[in-house]
Chain A
Amino acid sequence: DVVMTQSPLSLLVTVGQPASISCRSSQSLVYGDGETYLNWFQQRPGQSPRRLIFKVSNRDSGVPDRFSGSGSGTDFTLKINRVEAEDVGVYYCMQGSHWPYTFGQGTKLEI
């Protein structure tokens, strides 16, 4: 299985400051069709996961543009350019290029 490794596992950020989460995969996430199926999810306390980003850098509808995804191959990053209080929660990367889909350990963002 593809191992997804996130860092840091915990992030303490001041409102208005940027935050960055790294995600590395144990093998390339470039699929046979040329696409890279790397996703980012946010899980607020007591809620189901919510997808923020798909295919590395595509923001879901309704996701604030302060969230952005980047990367390629095996190295990926989620950036929040100005953290707000509502961003508190756990962030997961997940690869969908190889079966089974696998998640990173999660990064807990606190204010």
Chain B
Amino acid sequence: EVQLVESGGGVVQPGGSLRLSCVASGFTFDDFAMHWVRQAPGKGLEYVSLINDNGETIHYADSVKGRFTISRDNSKNSLYLQMNSLGTDDTALYYCARDYMGSYEYWGQGTLVTVSS
């Protein structure tokens, strides 16, 4: 059974940092690109970042470029999102999702990031 389990969310002050993690199981992790997708409270879904299977191709949404860094450790079946210079607009539930054929077949349960003073 495919599982994606996010962690690392919490409450942080504006300008602060957080590192999110996503541990994958039930599939060969290094065969798949992985994405982060977020959802602000009561709002829709927003793509944040992607990393391909070997980590050599990375892309960011304009809204997070220069502040967030995506990475992965295939030996640990883990995906990460380092988030710096956080603002209130970054408050959201952050999901990791497995990318295959232009789609997200599997999603985690999400980890909540709250940016507030």
Contact = CB atoms under 8 A, between A and B. Distances in A.
B31 interface: no
A49 B107 contact: yes
B2 interface: no
Interface residues on B, range: 10 to 19
A96 B107 contact: no
Given A48-B110, A100-B61, A101-B35, A94 B46 contact: no
Contacts of A96: 99, 101-103
Interface string B9-36: 0000000000000000000000000010
B41 interface: no
Interface in B88-117: 95, 99, 101-105, 107-110
Chain B contact residues, majority secondary structure: strand
A51 B44 contact: no
A100 B47 contact: yes
Interface of B: 35, 44-47, 50, 59, 61, 95, 99, 101-105, 107-110
Contacts of A69: none
B103 A48 contact: no
B110 to A, nearest CB: 6
11 contacts: A31-B102, A35-B102, A39-B102, A39-B104, A48-B95, A49-B95, A54-B101, A60-B105, A90-B44, A99-B50, A101-B102
A95 to B, nearest CB: 8
Contacts of A92: 44-45
A70 interface: no
